Structure 1
Amino acid sequence: MNARNLPATAAIARHALLLLTGALVLVPFVWMVSLSLKPPGEIFRASFSLLPEQWFAVENYTKALTEAPLPRYMVNGVFVCATILALQILVCAPAAYALAKLDFKGRDMLFGLVLIGLLLPHQVLALPLFILGYSLGILNTYAALIFPFVVSPFAIFLFRQFFKSIPDDVVHAARLDGLSEFAIVWKIMVPMAMPAVIAFSIFSVVSHWNDLFWPLIAVRSEDLMPPPLGIMAFKNEEAGNDYGPLMAASTLVVLPLVVAFLAAQKWFVEGLGKGSIK
């Protein structure tokens, strides 16, 4: 093999590995959709079949939507995720701007604390947050699902990295025009960092839409349950061993995330790429 063929061979090997990895990631989702289309008798059949012999999609999806308040769970998920994201951007963007563009005593130490916050899994803080929520009387409310996630170390880190890639001359020019620091954040920095905002938005929405651990601790009322907790309640109370409707409900819960990511993948990649420049 000559030297010219080596780059082509390496590229083929890389793409083959990526395709194989992508296929392995997609297998559970494809199987979930397949099970949502099958009647109970075909789900545990010994022979493998991706497509059902008898299509049971209408029955499974109808049961998923009618025998449990799945629309209510999804509305809860949309409200909680949207509120968390709005508050995270509102709080974390000014904090990231201060760490990126302002010179003050203790700035590096504060950024170090942000990095430490990135290393701490949220489960470590569950007990003190539960005690704090009980003391404030917000357990079993929407506030209990939203309050612990308002400050995001990852958002501060990502926005700071993106803000540092914006030339300081832009900030100096804005100050000469009479803009306050908060006006600079919202009128200049955040619009210029929109790819990073979209990238973080996807991370935030996916994380909190799929979160089961904290809602399982924070709420008990079925009217407040987000989608993952609602599906678990549906499995225990309604679906039982009938996994077709359960897989149909899971497909409906996952579908909005897939659509949102496909629509925003260009900005997602751009935001992560530019955010890692510095």
Structure 2
Amino acid sequence: MVSPPTAILRHAVLLVTGALILVPFVWMVSLSIKPPGEIFRASFSFWPTQFYGVENYTKALTEAPLPGYMGNGLIVCALILALQILVCAPCAYALAKLRFPGCNLLFALVLIGLLPPQVLSLPLFILGYQIAILNTYAAPIFPYVVSPFGIFLFRQFFKTIPDDVVHAARLDSLSQSAIVWKIMLPMALPAVIAFSIFSVVGHWNDLFWPLIAVRDQSLMPPPLGIVAFKYTEAGNDYGPLMAASTLVVLPLVVAFLAAQKWFVEGMTRGGVK
């Protein structure tokens, strides 16, 4: 039983932390509806004296191919997620439910793979150049097909599923592949949703690797497109730039709010074992 002072302190810390996280987003939305003359005022007010949101959002959508950038981001994130699940689920099943020599060593290598992707950016760039996929749709996809975090999360969730379920499926003459896709993955739906949110948010917001691998504007994902928009169209006009940033962030916020129940369940159940 948590004492009242502890509960009050805990909620106060959470409220302060949440407020600090939300401040940049509130600032972004506020600037996106303000005219240029009000953006650099010394005093801050969320709502402008002159509403300029229609002009800023219209300029963000028309003076740069923002819908094209978001379409590129949708294609890239969807392909990455599909390939990651296709690869990670069988790998996680093998590490969680099969016993073979070197299993623990392979899992240790997976944990090493959780290092930041920037560490491998140079060899990945050289590899992309050698196989001639730079500046194509494949360029922002191929480094992320295998996700060590996805393997780790699915493995932890699969280990919470009783072994009797797997044994019963084998008695029904199901193959290992069928067990993965027909038994394990449907039972791990919360983990799939949690990983999907991590994957989509991470790659939708990814700027580092696309900045290296993509040059053609028609292939740019949203963050790289906003950078290009800043230097080519928006210049020092921060209203349309903040409007473009708001439009890019909005789908992620809506998706997270819609799936937050499964996100929490997937993260907590995966850490029980």
TM-score range, shorter chain: over 0.9
Residue equivalent to 1:224: 219
For the residues of structure 2 that align with 1:22 and 1:168, how far apart are their CA atoms?
40
For the residues of structure 1 that align with 2:215 and 2:9, how far apart are their CA atoms?
50
Deviation at 1:273, TM superposition (A): 0.3
- SS of the residue corresponding to residue 144 of structure 1 reads coil
For the residues of structure 1 that align with 2:76 and 2:43, how far apart are their CA atoms?
42
Deviation at 1:156, TM superposition (A): 0.3
- What percent identity do the matched residue pairs reach? 80
- Does residue 247 (structure 1) correspond to residue 242 (structure 2)? The answer is yes
For the residues of structure 2 that align with 1:197 and 1:243, how far apart are their CA atoms?
38
Aligned residue among 5, 10, 15 for 2:11: 15
Aligned residue among 120, 138, 145 for 1:143: 138
Residue equivalent to 1:202: 197
Deviation at 1:10, TM superposition (A): 1.1
TM-score (normalizing by structure 2): 0.99
For the residues of structure 2 that align with 1:16 and 1:277, how far apart are their CA atoms?
27
Residue equivalent to 1:93: 89
Residue equivalent to 2:74: 78
Structure 2 residue runs without a partner (length 5+): none
Over residues 244-264 of structure 1, what are the superposed CA-to-partner deviations in whole Å (9 max), with x where a residue is unaligned?
Answer: 000000000000000000000
For the residues of structure 2 that align with 1:215 and 1:209, how far apart are their CA atoms?
11
Aligned residue among 99, 103, 125 for 2:99: 103
For the residues of structure 1 that align with 2:99 and 2:13, how far apart are their CA atoms?
46
Residue equivalent to 1:67: 63
Over residues 224-247 of structure 1, what are the superposed CA-to-partner deviations in whole Å (9 max), with x where a residue is unaligned?
Answer: 000000000000000001000000
- Does residue 126 (structure 1) correspond to residue 118 (structure 2)? The answer is no
Residue equivalent to 2:22: 26
- SS of the residue corresponding to residue 201 of structure 1 reads helix
TM-score (normalizing by structure 1): 0.97
Residue equivalent to 2:46: 50
Superposition CA RMSD, Å = 0.9
Give the count of matched residue pairs. 273
Over residues 138-159 of structure 1, what are the superposed CA-to-partner deviations in whole Å (9 max), with x where a residue is unaligned?
Answer: 0000101100000000000000
Moved over 2 A (4+): none
Q: How does 1:180-199 map to 2 (within 5 A)?
A: 180-199=175-194
Letter in 1 for 2:263: F
Aligned residue among 230, 233, 238 for 1:235: 230
Structure 1 residue runs without a partner (length 5+): none
Over residues 147-198 of structure 1, what are the superposed CA-to-partner deviations in whole Å (9 max), with x where a residue is unaligned?
Answer: 0000000000000000011000000000000100000000000000000000
